[in-house]
A and B are shown apart, each in its own frame.
Chain A
Amino acid sequence: MLKAIPGDLVDVIAGEGGAASPEYMDMLRAQFGLDRPDWAQFLAYVRQLGHFDLGYSFRHNMPISQLILDRLPATLLLIGAAVALAVGLGLLLGALAARFRGGLVDQAVSVFAAVVFATPVFWIGLMAIVLFAVQLRWFPLGGMTQIGGPPGVLGAVGDIAYHLVLPASTLSLAYLALYARVTRAAMGEVYDLDYVRTARAKGISEARIAIRHVLRNALLPVVTLSGLQLGSVLGGAVVVETVFSWPGMGRLAFEAVSDRDINLLLSLFLCNSLLVIVMSLVIDLLYGVLDPRVELAS
Protein backbone atom coordinates (compact mmCIF):
# COMPACT_ATOMS: atom_id res chain seq x y z
CA MET A 1 0.00 0.00 0.00
CA LEU A 2 2.79 2.41 0.90
CA LYS A 3 4.50 1.80 -2.40
CA ALA A 4 1.63 3.36 -4.28
CA ILE A 5 2.04 6.60 -2.40
CA PRO A 6 5.23 8.31 -3.58
CA GLY A 7 4.55 7.57 -7.22
CA ASP A 8 1.29 9.46 -7.14
CA LEU A 9 2.83 12.53 -5.68
CA VAL A 10 5.77 12.58 -8.03
CA ASP A 11 3.39 12.25 -10.94
CA VAL A 12 1.30 15.19 -9.82
CA ILE A 13 4.29 17.47 -9.49
CA ALA A 14 5.83 16.18 -12.68
CA GLY A 15 2.85 17.62 -14.45
CA GLU A 16 3.24 20.93 -12.68
CA GLY A 17 7.00 21.02 -13.11
CA GLY A 18 6.85 20.50 -16.84
CA ALA A 19 4.48 23.39 -17.22
CA ALA A 20 5.94 25.77 -14.69
CA SER A 21 9.64 25.88 -15.48
CA PRO A 22 9.71 27.36 -18.97
CA GLU A 23 11.83 30.39 -18.04
CA TYR A 24 14.92 28.27 -17.60
CA MET A 25 14.32 25.82 -20.40
CA ASP A 26 12.85 28.16 -22.96
CA MET A 27 15.39 27.72 -25.73
CA LEU A 28 16.16 24.11 -24.95
CA ARG A 29 12.53 23.21 -24.75
CA ALA A 30 12.12 21.49 -28.07
CA GLN A 31 15.32 19.54 -27.52
CA PHE A 32 14.20 18.17 -24.15
CA GLY A 33 10.70 17.44 -25.34
CA LEU A 34 9.15 20.04 -23.06
CA ASP A 35 7.08 21.45 -25.91
CA ARG A 36 4.92 18.37 -25.86
CA PRO A 37 1.62 18.58 -23.97
CA ASP A 38 1.68 17.94 -20.25
CA TRP A 39 0.10 14.54 -20.45
CA ALA A 40 2.70 13.32 -22.96
CA GLN A 41 5.57 14.45 -20.72
CA PHE A 42 3.88 12.88 -17.79
CA LEU A 43 3.48 9.57 -19.61
CA ALA A 44 7.11 9.67 -20.70
CA TYR A 45 8.20 10.32 -17.13
CA VAL A 46 6.17 7.44 -15.74
CA ARG A 47 7.48 5.15 -18.47
CA GLN A 48 11.04 6.12 -17.58
CA LEU A 49 10.43 5.44 -13.90
CA GLY A 50 9.12 2.03 -14.86
CA HIS A 51 12.54 1.33 -16.35
CA PHE A 52 14.35 2.67 -13.26
CA ASP A 53 15.55 5.54 -15.42
CA LEU A 54 15.44 8.76 -13.44
CA GLY A 55 16.23 10.86 -16.46
CA TYR A 56 19.05 13.20 -17.31
CA SER A 57 20.20 16.32 -15.52
CA PHE A 58 20.86 18.86 -18.24
CA ARG A 59 22.46 21.17 -15.75
CA HIS A 60 25.09 18.71 -14.56
CA ASN A 61 25.21 16.97 -17.91
CA MET A 62 25.03 13.59 -16.20
CA PRO A 63 22.39 10.92 -15.76
CA ILE A 64 20.52 11.64 -12.54
CA SER A 65 20.94 8.13 -11.20
CA GLN A 66 24.72 8.58 -11.51
CA LEU A 67 24.57 11.94 -9.72
CA ILE A 68 22.54 10.53 -6.87
CA LEU A 69 24.70 7.42 -6.49
CA ASP A 70 27.74 9.69 -6.27
CA ARG A 71 26.23 11.68 -3.46
CA LEU A 72 24.41 8.91 -1.62
CA PRO A 73 27.28 7.57 0.55
CA ALA A 74 28.10 10.98 1.98
CA THR A 75 24.50 11.62 2.95
CA LEU A 76 24.00 8.16 4.43
CA LEU A 77 27.17 8.63 6.48
CA LEU A 78 25.99 12.01 7.78
CA ILE A 79 22.46 10.84 8.54
CA GLY A 80 23.66 7.58 10.07
CA ALA A 81 26.13 9.30 12.36
CA ALA A 82 23.59 11.93 13.39
CA VAL A 83 20.87 9.37 14.13
CA ALA A 84 23.24 7.10 16.05
CA LEU A 85 24.35 10.03 18.15
CA ALA A 86 20.79 11.23 18.70
CA VAL A 87 19.46 7.80 19.67
CA GLY A 88 22.39 6.98 21.95
CA LEU A 89 22.54 10.27 23.82
CA GLY A 90 18.77 10.78 23.68
CA LEU A 91 18.07 7.42 25.33
CA LEU A 92 20.74 8.07 27.96
CA LEU A 93 19.49 11.56 28.83
CA GLY A 94 15.85 10.50 28.73
CA ALA A 95 16.56 7.52 30.97
CA LEU A 96 18.43 9.68 33.47
CA ALA A 97 15.64 12.25 33.44
CA ALA A 98 13.01 9.56 34.02
CA ARG A 99 15.02 7.89 36.76
CA PHE A 100 15.50 11.13 38.68
CA ARG A 101 12.24 12.84 37.83
CA GLY A 102 12.19 16.48 38.83
CA GLY A 103 15.93 16.39 39.39
CA LEU A 104 18.67 18.46 37.87
CA VAL A 105 19.10 16.31 34.74
CA ASP A 106 15.34 16.26 34.20
CA GLN A 107 15.02 20.02 34.31
CA ALA A 108 18.12 20.51 32.19
CA VAL A 109 16.72 18.12 29.58
CA SER A 110 13.39 19.92 29.32
CA VAL A 111 15.00 23.36 29.07
CA PHE A 112 17.47 22.01 26.51
CA ALA A 113 14.66 20.46 24.48
CA ALA A 114 12.67 23.70 24.42
CA VAL A 115 15.70 25.77 23.44
CA VAL A 116 16.76 23.38 20.69
CA PHE A 117 13.23 23.28 19.30
CA ALA A 118 13.11 27.07 19.08
CA THR A 119 16.46 27.46 17.33
CA PRO A 120 16.86 27.04 13.58
CA VAL A 121 19.17 24.14 12.70
CA PHE A 122 21.19 26.11 10.17
CA TRP A 123 21.81 28.85 12.72
CA ILE A 124 23.14 26.34 15.26
CA GLY A 125 25.43 25.05 12.50
CA LEU A 126 26.69 28.51 11.62
CA MET A 127 27.31 29.40 15.25
CA ALA A 128 29.12 26.09 15.72
CA ILE A 129 31.37 27.06 12.82
CA VAL A 130 32.07 30.46 14.38
CA LEU A 131 32.90 28.92 17.76
CA PHE A 132 34.63 25.64 16.96
CA ALA A 133 36.12 26.30 13.55
CA VAL A 134 36.89 30.02 13.39
CA GLN A 135 37.61 30.92 17.03
CA LEU A 136 38.88 27.69 18.56
CA ARG A 137 40.10 26.07 15.34
CA TRP A 138 39.21 22.61 16.65
CA PHE A 139 37.34 21.47 13.57
CA PRO A 140 37.42 22.32 9.86
CA LEU A 141 35.07 24.91 8.38
CA GLY A 142 33.33 22.49 6.09
CA GLY A 143 33.75 19.93 3.33
CA MET A 144 34.25 16.23 3.72
CA THR A 145 37.96 15.72 3.08
CA GLN A 146 41.04 17.85 3.11
CA ILE A 147 42.87 18.26 -0.17
CA GLY A 148 46.20 16.45 0.21
CA GLY A 149 45.04 15.02 3.52
CA PRO A 150 46.81 12.32 5.50
CA PRO A 151 47.88 9.28 3.44
CA GLY A 152 46.55 5.74 3.60
CA VAL A 153 43.10 4.30 4.21
CA LEU A 154 43.23 4.92 7.96
CA GLY A 155 44.27 8.51 7.38
CA ALA A 156 41.38 9.06 4.98
CA VAL A 157 38.87 7.55 7.41
CA GLY A 158 40.21 9.73 10.21
CA ASP A 159 40.05 12.77 7.96
CA ILE A 160 36.41 12.15 7.08
CA ALA A 161 35.50 11.47 10.71
CA TYR A 162 37.21 14.72 11.68
CA HIS A 163 35.15 16.61 9.11
CA LEU A 164 32.00 14.75 10.20
CA VAL A 165 31.97 15.89 13.84
CA LEU A 166 30.36 19.32 13.46
CA PRO A 167 27.72 18.53 10.80
CA ALA A 168 26.64 15.29 12.47
CA SER A 169 26.33 16.90 15.92
CA THR A 170 24.37 19.81 14.47
CA LEU A 171 21.96 17.55 12.64
CA SER A 172 21.54 15.27 15.64
CA LEU A 173 20.73 18.04 18.15
CA ALA A 174 17.07 18.45 17.21
CA TYR A 175 16.45 14.70 17.20
CA LEU A 176 18.42 14.20 20.39
CA ALA A 177 16.16 16.59 22.28
CA LEU A 178 13.09 14.87 20.90
CA TYR A 179 14.26 11.34 21.75
CA ALA A 180 15.22 12.42 25.25
CA ARG A 181 11.74 13.82 25.82
CA VAL A 182 9.93 10.82 24.41
CA THR A 183 12.12 8.36 26.33
CA ARG A 184 11.48 10.28 29.52
CA ALA A 185 7.72 10.25 28.98
CA ALA A 186 7.58 6.56 28.01
CA MET A 187 9.82 5.46 30.87
CA GLY A 188 7.90 7.62 33.31
CA GLU A 189 4.75 5.67 32.52
CA VAL A 190 6.45 2.30 32.88
CA TYR A 191 8.01 3.26 36.23
CA ASP A 192 4.49 3.48 37.71
CA LEU A 193 3.61 -0.10 36.81
CA ASP A 194 3.28 -2.89 39.34
CA TYR A 195 6.01 -5.14 38.03
CA VAL A 196 8.58 -2.44 38.64
CA ARG A 197 7.52 -2.39 42.27
CA THR A 198 7.80 -6.18 42.31
CA ALA A 199 11.30 -5.96 40.88
CA ARG A 200 12.27 -3.43 43.53
CA ALA A 201 10.78 -5.69 46.22
CA LYS A 202 12.94 -8.51 44.93
CA GLY A 203 15.95 -6.34 45.62
CA ILE A 204 17.13 -5.90 42.07
CA SER A 205 19.50 -2.98 41.66
CA GLU A 206 18.11 0.31 40.37
CA ALA A 207 20.39 0.32 37.33
CA ARG A 208 19.22 -3.14 36.32
CA ILE A 209 15.57 -2.18 36.79
CA ALA A 210 16.07 0.95 34.69
CA ILE A 211 17.70 -0.90 31.81
CA ARG A 212 16.06 -4.31 31.73
CA HIS A 213 12.61 -3.68 33.14
CA VAL A 214 11.78 -0.10 32.27
CA LEU A 215 13.81 0.96 29.25
CA ARG A 216 13.16 -2.25 27.38
CA ASN A 217 9.42 -1.77 27.69
CA ALA A 218 9.57 1.93 26.94
CA LEU A 219 11.50 1.42 23.70
CA LEU A 220 8.49 0.81 21.46
CA PRO A 221 7.13 4.37 21.40
CA VAL A 222 10.65 5.69 20.94
CA VAL A 223 11.21 3.43 17.96
CA THR A 224 7.84 4.37 16.44
CA LEU A 225 8.60 8.03 16.74
CA SER A 226 12.11 7.78 15.37
CA GLY A 227 10.71 5.95 12.36
CA LEU A 228 8.29 8.80 11.71
CA GLN A 229 10.97 11.40 12.23
CA LEU A 230 13.53 9.78 9.96
CA GLY A 231 11.43 10.67 6.96
CA SER A 232 12.16 14.30 7.66
CA VAL A 233 15.85 13.85 8.30
CA LEU A 234 16.79 14.47 4.68
CA GLY A 235 15.03 17.83 4.91
CA GLY A 236 17.32 18.68 7.80
CA ALA A 237 20.26 17.29 5.83
CA VAL A 238 19.58 19.80 3.04
CA VAL A 239 20.17 22.67 5.41
CA VAL A 240 23.07 21.13 7.31
CA GLU A 241 24.88 20.01 4.16
CA THR A 242 24.51 23.49 2.74
CA VAL A 243 25.95 25.07 5.86
CA PHE A 244 28.92 22.70 6.06
CA SER A 245 29.51 22.25 2.31
CA TRP A 246 29.01 18.52 2.80
CA PRO A 247 28.88 16.90 -0.64
CA GLY A 248 25.68 14.89 -0.22
CA MET A 249 22.17 14.60 -1.59
CA GLY A 250 20.85 17.46 0.48
CA ARG A 251 23.21 19.91 -1.15
CA LEU A 252 22.32 18.40 -4.50
CA ALA A 253 18.68 19.20 -3.72
CA PHE A 254 19.59 22.76 -2.86
CA GLU A 255 21.55 23.12 -6.10
CA ALA A 256 18.65 21.60 -8.00
CA VAL A 257 16.35 24.24 -6.55
CA SER A 258 18.62 27.18 -7.30
CA ASP A 259 19.29 25.85 -10.81
CA ARG A 260 15.57 25.19 -11.39
CA ASP A 261 16.53 21.61 -12.26
CA ILE A 262 13.04 20.25 -11.62
CA ASN A 263 13.82 16.80 -12.96
CA LEU A 264 16.67 16.30 -10.51
CA LEU A 265 14.58 17.66 -7.64
CA LEU A 266 11.79 15.22 -8.39
CA SER A 267 14.21 12.32 -8.44
CA LEU A 268 15.63 13.33 -5.08
CA PHE A 269 12.10 13.56 -3.77
CA LEU A 270 11.44 10.06 -5.04
CA CYS A 271 14.62 8.77 -3.40
CA ASN A 272 13.55 10.30 -0.13
CA SER A 273 10.18 8.59 -0.39
CA LEU A 274 11.99 5.30 -0.98
CA LEU A 275 14.07 6.02 2.11
CA VAL A 276 10.88 6.55 4.10
CA ILE A 277 9.45 3.26 2.88
CA VAL A 278 12.62 1.36 3.73
CA MET A 279 12.72 2.98 7.15
CA SER A 280 9.10 2.03 7.90
CA LEU A 281 9.91 -1.52 6.92
CA VAL A 282 12.96 -1.58 9.19
CA ILE A 283 10.88 -0.16 12.04
CA ASP A 284 8.19 -2.79 11.54
CA LEU A 285 10.83 -5.51 11.65
CA LEU A 286 12.39 -3.96 14.75
CA TYR A 287 9.05 -4.28 16.57
CA GLY A 288 9.36 -8.02 16.23
CA VAL A 289 12.83 -7.96 17.74
CA LEU A 290 11.97 -5.64 20.61
CA ASP A 291 8.63 -7.10 21.53
CA PRO A 292 8.26 -10.88 21.24
CA ARG A 293 4.47 -10.45 21.36
CA VAL A 294 4.53 -8.86 17.90
CA GLU A 295 4.48 -11.59 15.31
CA LEU A 296 5.91 -10.93 11.88
CA ALA A 297 3.85 -13.47 9.99
CA SER A 298 0.12 -12.91 10.11
Chain B
Amino acid sequence: MSRFIALARTNPSALVGLALLLALAGVATGAGVLYPGDPMAMVGPRSLWPLRDAAFPLGTDQLGRDVAAQLCHAARVSLSIGVGAAILATMIGVSVGALAGYAGGRLDDALTRLSEYFQTIPTFLFSMVLVAVLAPSIGSVTLAIGLTAWPEIARLTRAEVFRIRRADYVLAAETMGLGHARIIATHILPNSLAPVIVMVSAVVAHAILVEAALAFLGLGDPNTISWGSMIGNARPLLRTAWYLTALPGLAIFVAVMGFVLLGGGVADLLNPRMRVRRTSAGELRGGDA
Protein backbone atom coordinates (compact mmCIF):
# COMPACT_ATOMS: atom_id res chain seq x y z
CA MET B 1 0.00 0.00 0.00
CA SER B 2 2.81 2.37 0.84
CA ARG B 3 4.28 1.54 -2.55
CA PHE B 4 0.98 2.43 -4.12
CA ILE B 5 0.97 5.81 -2.42
CA ALA B 6 4.52 6.36 -3.56
CA LEU B 7 3.42 5.58 -7.07
CA ALA B 8 0.57 8.02 -6.84
CA ARG B 9 2.92 10.74 -5.65
CA THR B 10 5.72 10.26 -8.11
CA ASN B 11 3.86 9.10 -11.13
CA PRO B 12 0.38 10.52 -11.68
CA SER B 13 0.29 9.30 -15.28
CA ALA B 14 0.29 5.68 -14.06
CA LEU B 15 -2.75 6.45 -11.93
CA VAL B 16 -4.48 7.99 -14.94
CA GLY B 17 -3.73 4.81 -16.87
CA LEU B 18 -5.10 2.66 -14.07
CA ALA B 19 -8.24 4.78 -13.86
CA LEU B 20 -8.79 4.57 -17.63
CA LEU B 21 -8.42 0.79 -17.56
CA LEU B 22 -10.69 0.34 -14.54
CA ALA B 23 -13.35 2.46 -16.25
CA LEU B 24 -13.07 0.40 -19.45
CA ALA B 25 -13.15 -2.87 -17.53
CA GLY B 26 -16.25 -1.63 -15.72
CA VAL B 27 -17.92 -0.73 -18.99
CA ALA B 28 -17.00 -4.08 -20.51
CA THR B 29 -18.25 -6.15 -17.60
CA GLY B 30 -21.31 -3.95 -17.11
CA ALA B 31 -22.26 -4.02 -20.80
CA GLY B 32 -24.82 -6.77 -20.19
CA VAL B 33 -26.47 -4.78 -17.38
CA LEU B 34 -26.31 -1.35 -19.02
CA TYR B 35 -27.48 -2.58 -22.40
CA PRO B 36 -29.10 -5.96 -21.82
CA GLY B 37 -30.47 -6.27 -25.35
CA ASP B 38 -28.61 -7.38 -28.45
CA PRO B 39 -26.26 -4.52 -29.43
CA MET B 40 -26.79 -5.46 -33.06
CA ALA B 41 -30.56 -4.87 -32.78
CA MET B 42 -32.14 -1.89 -34.53
CA VAL B 43 -33.60 0.24 -31.78
CA GLY B 44 -33.84 3.82 -32.98
CA PRO B 45 -33.92 6.21 -35.92
CA ARG B 46 -31.12 5.78 -38.46
CA SER B 47 -27.88 7.79 -38.51
CA LEU B 48 -28.63 9.91 -35.48
CA TRP B 49 -25.73 12.18 -34.49
CA PRO B 50 -24.43 12.09 -30.90
CA LEU B 51 -25.90 14.42 -28.26
CA ARG B 52 -29.15 14.92 -30.17
CA ASP B 53 -31.33 12.45 -28.29
CA ALA B 54 -31.01 11.60 -24.58
CA ALA B 55 -32.02 8.00 -25.27
CA PHE B 56 -29.02 7.55 -27.58
CA PRO B 57 -26.25 9.75 -26.14
CA LEU B 58 -23.70 8.65 -28.73
CA GLY B 59 -26.16 8.45 -31.61
CA THR B 60 -27.11 5.55 -33.83
CA ASP B 61 -25.53 4.04 -36.93
CA GLN B 62 -26.85 3.60 -40.44
CA LEU B 63 -29.14 0.75 -39.36
CA GLY B 64 -30.44 2.49 -36.25
CA ARG B 65 -28.28 0.53 -33.82
CA ASP B 66 -27.28 2.22 -30.59
CA VAL B 67 -23.61 3.29 -30.84
CA ALA B 68 -23.13 3.43 -27.07
CA ALA B 69 -24.40 -0.14 -26.67
CA GLN B 70 -22.16 -1.31 -29.50
CA LEU B 71 -19.12 0.40 -27.99
CA CYS B 72 -19.72 -1.24 -24.59
CA HIS B 73 -20.20 -4.70 -26.03
CA ALA B 74 -17.25 -4.23 -28.38
CA ALA B 75 -15.08 -3.35 -25.37
CA ARG B 76 -15.58 -6.92 -24.15
CA VAL B 77 -14.36 -8.42 -27.41
CA SER B 78 -11.45 -6.03 -27.93
CA LEU B 79 -10.19 -6.22 -24.36
CA SER B 80 -10.57 -9.97 -24.01
CA ILE B 81 -8.73 -10.60 -27.27
CA GLY B 82 -6.02 -8.14 -26.23
CA VAL B 83 -5.57 -9.69 -22.80
CA GLY B 84 -5.96 -13.26 -24.09
CA ALA B 85 -3.33 -12.77 -26.79
CA ALA B 86 -0.98 -11.19 -24.26
CA ILE B 87 -1.44 -14.14 -21.88
CA LEU B 88 -0.70 -16.58 -24.69
CA ALA B 89 2.35 -14.59 -25.80
CA THR B 90 3.59 -14.36 -22.22
CA MET B 91 3.20 -18.09 -21.64
CA ILE B 92 5.11 -18.97 -24.80
CA GLY B 93 7.67 -16.22 -24.31
CA VAL B 94 8.40 -16.97 -20.65
CA SER B 95 8.68 -20.73 -21.24
CA VAL B 96 10.96 -20.32 -24.24
CA GLY B 97 13.03 -17.61 -22.58
CA ALA B 98 13.37 -19.41 -19.25
CA LEU B 99 14.32 -22.67 -20.91
CA ALA B 100 16.88 -20.97 -23.17
CA GLY B 101 18.40 -18.91 -20.38
CA TYR B 102 18.52 -21.80 -17.93
CA ALA B 103 19.77 -24.56 -20.19
CA GLY B 104 22.24 -22.53 -22.22
CA GLY B 105 24.34 -24.26 -24.85
CA ARG B 106 22.74 -25.81 -27.87
CA LEU B 107 19.15 -25.57 -26.66
CA ASP B 108 19.70 -21.86 -26.06
CA ASP B 109 21.09 -21.46 -29.58
CA ALA B 110 18.15 -23.29 -31.12
CA LEU B 111 15.51 -21.37 -29.17
CA THR B 112 17.19 -18.03 -29.79
CA ARG B 113 17.35 -18.83 -33.48
CA LEU B 114 13.64 -19.73 -33.40
CA SER B 115 12.61 -16.44 -31.84
CA GLU B 116 14.87 -14.45 -34.19
CA TYR B 117 13.17 -16.25 -37.04
CA PHE B 118 9.76 -15.18 -35.72
CA GLN B 119 11.05 -11.63 -35.41
CA THR B 120 12.12 -11.42 -39.03
CA ILE B 121 8.79 -12.48 -40.48
CA PRO B 122 6.35 -9.64 -41.13
CA THR B 123 4.06 -10.07 -38.15
CA PHE B 124 0.94 -8.32 -39.40
CA LEU B 125 0.87 -10.22 -42.69
CA PHE B 126 1.53 -13.43 -40.77
CA SER B 127 -1.43 -12.75 -38.49
CA MET B 128 -3.59 -12.03 -41.56
CA VAL B 129 -2.56 -15.33 -43.14
CA LEU B 130 -3.22 -17.28 -39.93
CA VAL B 131 -6.66 -15.78 -39.40
CA ALA B 132 -7.58 -16.28 -43.05
CA VAL B 133 -6.46 -19.90 -43.00
CA LEU B 134 -8.10 -20.76 -39.66
CA ALA B 135 -11.33 -18.84 -40.44
CA PRO B 136 -11.98 -15.67 -38.40
CA SER B 137 -13.20 -16.24 -34.86
CA ILE B 138 -12.27 -14.82 -31.46
CA GLY B 139 -10.08 -17.86 -30.83
CA SER B 140 -8.18 -17.69 -34.12
CA VAL B 141 -7.58 -13.93 -33.83
CA THR B 142 -6.25 -14.37 -30.29
CA LEU B 143 -4.01 -17.19 -31.46
CA ALA B 144 -2.73 -15.25 -34.47
CA ILE B 145 -1.77 -12.24 -32.36
CA GLY B 146 -0.34 -14.29 -29.50
CA LEU B 147 1.82 -16.34 -31.86
CA THR B 148 3.46 -13.24 -33.29
CA ALA B 149 3.98 -11.26 -30.08
CA TRP B 150 6.01 -13.64 -27.93
CA PRO B 151 9.63 -13.21 -29.18
CA GLU B 152 10.16 -9.90 -27.38
CA ILE B 153 9.06 -11.46 -24.09
CA ALA B 154 11.25 -14.51 -24.70
CA ARG B 155 14.28 -12.30 -25.35
CA LEU B 156 13.73 -10.32 -22.17
CA THR B 157 13.04 -13.40 -20.02
CA ARG B 158 16.12 -15.12 -21.36
CA ALA B 159 18.33 -12.15 -20.52
CA GLU B 160 16.91 -11.95 -16.99
CA VAL B 161 17.17 -15.68 -16.34
CA PHE B 162 20.68 -15.72 -17.74
CA ARG B 163 21.63 -12.96 -15.33
CA ILE B 164 20.33 -14.86 -12.28
CA ARG B 165 21.39 -18.31 -13.41
CA ARG B 166 24.80 -18.12 -11.68
CA ALA B 167 23.61 -16.33 -8.56
CA ASP B 168 24.67 -17.88 -5.27
CA TYR B 169 21.20 -18.85 -4.15
CA VAL B 170 20.53 -20.68 -7.41
CA LEU B 171 23.76 -22.59 -7.06
CA ALA B 172 22.81 -23.34 -3.45
CA ALA B 173 19.46 -24.69 -4.57
CA GLU B 174 21.25 -26.86 -7.09
CA THR B 175 23.60 -28.17 -4.40
CA MET B 176 20.59 -29.06 -2.27
CA GLY B 177 19.55 -31.38 -5.07
CA LEU B 178 16.41 -29.59 -6.23
CA GLY B 179 15.11 -30.51 -9.67
CA HIS B 180 15.53 -28.17 -12.64
CA ALA B 181 11.82 -27.49 -12.93
CA ARG B 182 11.56 -26.53 -9.27
CA ILE B 183 14.61 -24.27 -9.42
CA ILE B 184 13.21 -22.45 -12.46
CA ALA B 185 9.71 -22.15 -11.05
CA THR B 186 10.43 -21.17 -7.44
CA HIS B 187 13.88 -19.60 -7.47
CA ILE B 188 14.61 -18.04 -10.82
CA LEU B 189 11.32 -16.90 -12.32
CA PRO B 190 9.99 -14.96 -9.30
CA ASN B 191 13.18 -12.93 -9.32
CA SER B 192 13.28 -12.28 -13.02
CA LEU B 193 9.69 -11.50 -13.92
CA ALA B 194 9.49 -7.82 -12.94
CA PRO B 195 10.63 -6.36 -16.27
CA VAL B 196 8.60 -9.00 -18.08
CA ILE B 197 5.42 -7.86 -16.35
CA VAL B 198 6.06 -4.34 -17.61
CA MET B 199 6.49 -5.61 -21.11
CA VAL B 200 3.24 -7.56 -20.90
CA SER B 201 1.28 -4.32 -20.64
CA ALA B 202 2.96 -3.14 -23.84
CA VAL B 203 2.02 -6.44 -25.48
CA VAL B 204 -1.64 -6.01 -24.46
CA ALA B 205 -1.60 -2.52 -25.98
CA HIS B 206 -0.05 -3.89 -29.17
CA ALA B 207 -2.55 -6.76 -29.30
CA ILE B 208 -5.52 -4.40 -29.04
CA LEU B 209 -4.13 -2.37 -31.96
CA VAL B 210 -3.53 -5.45 -34.11
CA GLU B 211 -6.98 -6.83 -33.33
CA ALA B 212 -8.50 -3.52 -34.36
CA ALA B 213 -6.60 -3.50 -37.64
CA LEU B 214 -7.58 -7.11 -38.40
CA ALA B 215 -11.23 -6.46 -37.58
CA PHE B 216 -11.14 -3.27 -39.66
CA LEU B 217 -10.01 -5.35 -42.64
CA GLY B 218 -12.92 -7.72 -42.07
CA LEU B 219 -10.86 -10.39 -40.34
CA GLY B 220 -12.74 -10.31 -37.05
CA ASP B 221 -15.26 -12.77 -35.68
CA PRO B 222 -18.33 -12.15 -37.89
CA ASN B 223 -20.72 -12.91 -35.02
CA THR B 224 -19.43 -10.26 -32.63
CA ILE B 225 -18.56 -6.57 -32.82
CA SER B 226 -15.27 -5.06 -31.88
CA TRP B 227 -14.04 -1.48 -32.14
CA GLY B 228 -12.12 -2.29 -35.28
CA SER B 229 -15.10 -3.86 -37.04
CA MET B 230 -17.27 -0.87 -36.07
CA ILE B 231 -14.80 1.39 -37.88
CA GLY B 232 -14.76 -0.98 -40.85
CA ASN B 233 -18.55 -0.93 -41.03
CA ALA B 234 -18.72 2.84 -40.71
CA ARG B 235 -16.11 3.50 -43.38
CA PRO B 236 -18.51 3.75 -46.35
CA LEU B 237 -20.35 6.52 -44.46
CA LEU B 238 -17.22 8.51 -43.75
CA ARG B 239 -18.44 11.51 -45.73
CA THR B 240 -21.77 11.95 -44.00
CA ALA B 241 -21.41 10.30 -40.59
CA TRP B 242 -17.78 10.45 -39.54
CA TYR B 243 -18.70 10.22 -35.84
CA LEU B 244 -19.33 6.50 -36.45
CA THR B 245 -15.63 6.18 -37.29
CA ALA B 246 -14.32 8.63 -34.72
CA LEU B 247 -15.95 7.17 -31.59
CA PRO B 248 -14.61 3.59 -31.77
CA GLY B 249 -11.19 5.01 -32.69
CA LEU B 250 -11.22 7.09 -29.52
CA ALA B 251 -12.14 3.98 -27.54
CA ILE B 252 -9.12 2.15 -28.96
CA PHE B 253 -6.92 5.13 -28.16
CA VAL B 254 -8.14 5.25 -24.55
CA ALA B 255 -7.58 1.51 -24.03
CA VAL B 256 -4.08 1.47 -25.53
CA MET B 257 -3.09 4.65 -23.71
CA GLY B 258 -4.29 3.12 -20.45
CA PHE B 259 -2.05 0.10 -20.84
CA VAL B 260 0.94 2.21 -21.93
CA LEU B 261 0.64 4.61 -18.98
CA LEU B 262 0.13 1.80 -16.49
CA GLY B 263 3.12 -0.10 -17.87
CA GLY B 264 5.32 2.98 -17.57
CA GLY B 265 4.15 3.52 -14.00
CA VAL B 266 4.76 -0.08 -12.95
CA ALA B 267 8.23 0.10 -14.51
CA ASP B 268 9.05 3.08 -12.31
CA LEU B 269 7.58 1.36 -9.28
CA LEU B 270 9.63 -1.80 -9.77
CA ASN B 271 12.80 0.10 -10.42
CA PRO B 272 13.63 2.19 -7.33
CA ARG B 273 16.93 3.35 -8.80
CA MET B 274 15.13 4.82 -11.76
CA ARG B 275 12.53 6.38 -9.49
CA VAL B 276 15.11 8.19 -7.41
CA ARG B 277 16.94 9.36 -10.49
CA ARG B 278 13.79 10.59 -12.13
CA THR B 279 12.48 12.40 -9.08
CA SER B 280 15.82 13.99 -8.38
CA ALA B 281 16.02 15.17 -11.95
CA GLY B 282 12.54 16.58 -11.51
CA GLU B 283 11.51 14.58 -14.51
CA LEU B 284 8.54 12.34 -13.83
CA ARG B 285 7.66 11.09 -17.24
CA GLY B 286 7.34 7.31 -17.56
CA GLY B 287 6.44 5.31 -20.62
CA ASP B 288 9.88 4.41 -21.86
CA ALA B 289 9.17 0.73 -21.30
Contacts and interface: CB of A to CB of B under 8 A. Distances in A.
B80 interface: no
A117 B287 CA distance: 11
A20 B132 CA distance: 9
B144 to A, nearest CB: 12
A247 B129 CA distance: 20
A20 B134 contact: yes
B231 A13 contact: no
Given A254-B217, A269-B129, A232 B123 contact: yes
A117 B256 contact: yes
Interface string A125-138: 01101100010000
B257 A118 contact: yes
Contacts of B122: 231-232, 234-235, 269, 272-273, 276
B49 interface: no
Contacts of B239: 134
A91 B43 CA distance: 51
B114 to A, nearest CB: 11
Interface in B76-134: 117, 119-126, 128-129, 131-134
A2 B121 CA distance: 11
A130 B249 contact: no
Interface stretch (A33-41, A71-79, A205-213, A236-244): A236-244
Interface size band for B = 35 or more
Given A120-B212, A272-B122, A126 B133 contact: no
A interface majority secondary structure: helix
B12 to A, nearest CB: 15
B125 A120 contact: no
Contacts of A126: 231, 235, 238, 242, 245, 249
A269 B132 CA distance: 13
Nearest to B281: A102
B217 A235 contact: no
Interface of B: 117, 119-126, 128-129, 131-134, 205, 209, 212-213, 216-219, 228, 231, 235, 238-239, 242, 245-246, 249, 252-253, 256-257, 260, 283, 285, 287
Interface of A: 2, 5-6, 9, 13, 16-17, 20-21, 102, 110, 114-115, 117-123, 126-127, 129-130, 134, 228, 231-232, 234-236, 238-239, 242-243, 253-254, 257-258, 260, 262, 265-266, 268-269, 272-273, 276
